Every structure is written in structure tokens, then in C-alpha cells.
Amino acid sequence: MKPVVKNRIHFAVLATDVACFRIIDNQLCVLIGRAPSSSPFAGEWALIGGMVRPEETAEDSVSRLLSDKAGIKNIYTEQLHTFSGINRDPRGRVVSVAYLALTHIDPQDISKARLETKWYPMNSLPKLAYDHDEIMEHAIKHLRFKIHNTNVARYLLPHEFTLTELQNVYEIVIGKGMDKRNFRKKILVSGMLKSMKRTRKKGVMRPAALYVFK
């Protein structure tokens, strides 16, 4: 990965790093893996990432890396920011396009993982390798911003869900409670949900109405 200059043109390695979020046990968790032994941060925790291949766009590469390294397929991704600091990677010029990814617990999307990976709760995240702490900063800020103005919460939920489950997602992401009545009013008035006209029972409680995103 030594610097490459041909005909006075400078070539860089293009990489992607992805902050992949998922809610587990009412906690916002991030997927991290051990940096491979060949890398300068061998064995340390880092975001899932890797080099972009000749036949891939950055977006493609994120999908492949999540699938290969963590067994996650069919995931929502969004580009965040590109980090082009000269000495980000001690091995040479590596420019990384950072992505946000969101998923939910759904067995069909998780197959075998090829890397030691772990879902770490945001609030007990260890120090990460490279400049990945900075990428995480961007990612969480971006996610918190977008959940207010868009329907990205859908990617953190299964297809069908109750309003309470939806509210939980919002609360977990922004990190504080919301008023139930105001929340339901705003969501329903916004028109982004469709009622399934069915309910779901859970234990001994009153059944809850099911919704899907339009």
C-alpha cells in the first residue's frame, strides 16, 4: 500500500468504513470487528471497513464488506463523509468514504460471519482504531438528525411494528423519552404509516395495533 505515483499522477487506495447500527435489548449498538493481523492496528476494535475493488463503487463495497465480514445482507446504507487525511493509515495514502448503515434483528439477513465481530452498545464503546472514533461522531450525529426529519427509523424495525416499538426506536436513538400522546399524534398525522388493521398480543397485555411504513 506504499504510495504510487505514475506519470506524475498520484494514486490512492480507496476504502470504505461503515458505522452499522442496530438496536439490541433497548440499546443502540454498533457493529465493530477486530482489525486483521496484517493491519497497523492488528487486533484492535475498528469499524467494519476495507478496500474498494476495481469493479465496485464505494456503495457496493460497503454491502460486500458487511455481508462478508458480518453476514449482514440487504441493509440500508447512506454516505456520510470522506476522510482524506494524509496520514490516516500508516501504510500509505488511504482515503476512506464513511457510511452509515441501519439494520434490525431479522434472522434472514444474518448468515455466517467471517470475522470476529461484535455489536457494542454506543454508551460503552471502546476506543477504536484509525480515525474511527471521529467517524462514529459523524455517524451518530447524522442518525440523530435524520430520525427527526425522515423515516429512517423504519430500517431499525421489522416490517410490522407497534407504535410503542416505533417510539422506543426514537427514544433509544435520541437518548431521551418522548411524550406518548404527542409522539403518536405527530407520527400518525405525518402519514408515513399505514395501519395493518390487525393487532398483536404480547404476554398478558392489551393487544397493540400493527403498522407498516408506507
Partner DNA sequence: TCAAAAGTGTTTTAAATACACCCATGA
Partner DNA sequence: TCATGGGTGTATTTAAAACACTTTTGA
The site for a second copy (CB under 8 A) is made up of: 1, 3-7, 9-14, 51-59, 79, 81-82, 84-86, 93, 95, 97
- Could you say which of 64, 118, 146, 184 contacts DNA (CB under 7 A)? 184
Cα 20 to the center of its chain, rounded Å = 2
Closest to 172 (Cα-Cα) out of 29, 20, 18: 29
Provide, rounded to whole angstroms, the least separation between the CB of residue 27 and a second copy. 30
Q: Which residues lie below 8 Å from residue 18, measured CB to CB, with a gap of 6+?
A: 31, 47, 48, 49, 62, 65, 66, 77, 98, 99, 100, 101
State which amino acid sits at residue 151: N
In the bound state with DNA, the residue whose beta carbon lies nearer, of 141 and 185, is 185
Measured from the Cβ of residue 159, the count of other Cβ atoms closer than 10 Å reads 12
Q: Which of 164, 175, 194, 198 binds DNA (CB under 7 A)?
A: 164
Q: Grid coordinates representing 115?
A: 470475522
CA–CA distance, 1 with 214 (Å, rounded to integer): 46
Q: Using the rule CB under 7 A, which residue among 87, 182, 191, 197 binds DNA? A: 182
Which of 121, 162, 212, 213 touches DNA by CB under 7 A? 162
Cα-flanking dihedrals φ and ψ of residue 173, to 5°? Answer: -70, -50
Mask for 189-208, x = binds DNA (CB under 7 A): ----------x-x--xxxxx
Residue 206 binds which entry of a second copy, DNA, none, with Cβ cut-offs from 5 to 8 Å by kind? Answer: DNA
Comparison of 85 and 175: residue with beta carbon closer to a second copy: 85
Minimum CB distance to DNA, residue 188 (Å): 8
Considering only CA atoms, which of 18, 172, 33, 4 is closest in space to residue 97?
Answer: 18
The entry of a second copy, DNA, none that residue 204 binds, CB within 5 to 8 Å by partner kind: DNA
* Count of Cβ atoms closer than 10 Å to residue 113 Cβ: 16
Based on the shown chain and the rule CB under 7 A, indicate whether residue 179 belongs to the binding site for DNA.
yes
Residues that bind DNA (CB under 7 A): 162-164, 179-182, 184-186, 199, 201, 204-209
